[in-house]
Amino acid sequence: DIDHLNLRVQKELVEWLNWLKADIGFDGWRFDFAKGYSADVAKIYIDRSEPSFAVAEIWTSLAYGGDGKPNLNRDQHRQELVNWVDKVGGKGPATTFDFTTKGILNVAVEGELWRLRGTDGKAPGMIGWWPAKAVTFVDNHDTGSTQHMWPFPSDRVMQGYAYILTHPGTPCIFYDHFFDWGLKEEIDRLVSVRTRHGIHNESKLQIIEADADLYLAEIDGKVIVKLGPRYDVGNLIPGGFKVAAHGNDYAVW
């Protein structure tokens, strides 16, 4: 165990981080199991090493109801993520992985896409509150891969990417999906759409529909994304939009 309250430990870790920056060329940090030490300690490491980007893993289980599905109110879950960023410094480079969005997406793509519109009409994850500080993802080395601790439905992974790569927040692509699952070309197309239209972590999201079999949203007035098996959505797509990417139960205009 590392005693992060020990001043010598703090000093040596800061020196190591600065060596990684100056000599090796790293410019960002990922704080693993950030619940294992206080945000005040993380703030010391960030303030004294000045990375251009930092992201924390704060993995807390969602609250579930008797039906085994996440409760509709996820405010407490995403509040914990927001609190960490606040304590570390909201004006600095600190962000957190948006585990709230991950948990909701896991269930939503299984025929409950209405979950992707919160009671306030915004996205229900951390991206609905503070998208600039939310790092979205479909799976990572813990949730998917060989550990398989909280995997995304394997046949609907591209719906997850269609969501995070068109929405605000900072999307993170899982190595396994990109290199091992044969999804490189599909993911590349979505990345190209995001880049070409300048979608960014604070882009404006307008949710048009959120039903069991259809989620439709417009981002920055430039991109429209559809998730779900419903195909008769032509009347909801404004004129001038053309399909730029599509796949199993998703499309992007």
CA angle 227–104–133, rounded 5-degree value: 100
Residue 219: CB atoms within 10 Å: 21
* 94-97 and 134-137 strand pairing: parallel
Catalytic-role residue among 12, 15, 50, 57: 57
Residue 158: CB atoms within 10 Å: 24
Question: Could you give the residue ranges of the DSSP H alpha helices within 61-117?
Answer: 75-88, 99-108
Residue 72 CA to residue 64 CA, distance in Å, equals 9
Catalytic: which of 1, 23, 32, 67? 32
CA angle, 54 as apex, 2 and 200 as ends, to 5°?
A: 160
Catalytic status, residue 12: no
Angle between helices 99-108 and 75-88 (to 10 degrees): 150
Strands 250-252 and 245-247: antiparallel
Catalytic center residues: 32, 57
